[in-house]
Structure 1
Amino acid sequence: MKAKWSKASSTVYYTPAEAKALEPIRETVEKRAELPDLRELFLCHAWADRLDDATKLYDLLKARNVSVWFSEKDIPLGSSFLREIDRGLAKSRVGIVLVTPALLTRLPTGGIADRELSALLATDQLVPVIHNTTYDALRMVSPLLASRNGLSTEEDSLEVVADKLAELVKTSRF
């Protein structure tokens, strides 16, 4: 089904559960649209995924004209890693968490992704993207994150997930 935020010409289809789960996030996108200097997405990922899966998702989103805050591209040399992440979180409409086996291994040990996740869990700005793992595996590590409906590459390709995210965060319906 097409989501109510979809353009008439859109070829992106959501399951009814996805459309329902993403509706509060879409409302947040619309509320935050007028704030200055915002990125459409903040990409939270495990450090081990930065050169592979996270970069692939980043590239797919950029190809769809989505502005993405991505630590690999947005933290200048010599700057405070945590302070730049904090700024990135504050200046993003929506946060996505790329949930991979590497992230599931890292979350219990703390670290940067765990801090990003903590900040995102406190908002209606969070979409988990389950990739090469399952919600059941996520539930064992982070029941709070697993309680959020999101998108999964078990059901759609990473390209289709990028299409859905791009449509979700675009504020113009025309």
Structure 2
Amino acid sequence: MSYSSLGSIEGSQGNSTRPHWSPARSSVVYTPTEIRALTPIYNSVEKLATLPSLWDVFLCHAWDDRQGAAKKLHDRLEERGLQVWSSKKDVGFGVPLLLSIDEGLANARVGIVLVTPALLHRLPTEGITDKDFSELLARDQIIIIVHETTYEALRNVSPLLASRSGLSTAEDSMSTVAAKIAELFGF
């Protein structure tokens, strides 16, 4: 991998530009599409950095993914120093799930939607997505991560969520995806 004087990185993934939030010591490589998708998120995170918040990240996932992909992403984000809300550990006994989700969204700097085949299957029946994520979408506070599926499949189920570019585990490992998110917070 070599670096040009303009901040471009040349390596196995072709030419990429290092975003201004990525530390010079970072080995994480971003595509131009990822930089365009993540720049508004970074700007929102920066604005919200001084506000009190319980969580850096609200992780939305299908219940079926709680022991697999969602747990892996959750753990990778926490390993990088982020405070992560997830239904598995942050929904109290006897607390209504929708109430807890509303509280989690309200007290997180960024929402992550982990889109998997299980989530695509549940979205039409859950009724949560449009209501809960439209505000985060409007404020550039949501990151879509597709895992074992595609943006096209998401578009068929939720055009609202698919309207944003994001990250994909088809292009990067879950650890690299977590590193890209952590860099938005300065980790």
Instruction: Mark yes or no: TM-score above 0.5.
Output: yes
Residue-by-residue CA offset, 1:72-117 (whole Å, 9 max, x unaligned): 1111212232222111111111111000000111111124566544
RMSD value, Cα: 1.7
Which letter maps to 1:25? I
Q: Does 1:54 align with 2:65?
A: no
Which letter maps to 1:53? A
The CA deviation at 1:2 is 1.6
Q: Does 1:162 align with 2:173?
A: no
Residue matched to 2:157: 141
Which letter maps to 1:155? E
Which letter maps to 2:20? K
The CA deviation at 1:39 is 1.3
Residue matched to 2:9: none
- Number of aligned residues: 171
Deviation >4 Å, runs of 4+: 111-115
Which letter maps to 1:129? I
Q: Which has the higher contact order (CA 8 A, sep 6+)?
A: 1
Please say which structure displays the higher CA radius of gyration.
Answer: 2
Residue matched to 2:87: 71
Counterpart selection for 1:93 from 88, 109, 113: 109
Counterpart selection for 1:125 from 135, 141, 151: 141
Q: Tell me how far apart the structure 2 counterparts of residues 54 and 167 of structure 1 sit (CA, whole Å).
A: 19
Q: Tell me how far apart the structure 1 counterparts of residues 161 and 128 of structure 2 sit (CA, whole Å).
A: 16
- TM-score normalised by length of structure 2: 0.85
Uncovered stretches (5+) of structure 2, i.e. residues with no partner? 1-16
The sequence identity of aligned pairs, in percent, is: 58
Uncovered stretches (5+) of structure 1, i.e. residues with no partner? none
> CA 1:161–1:97 in structure 2 vs 1: closer, same or farther (change >3 Å)?
same
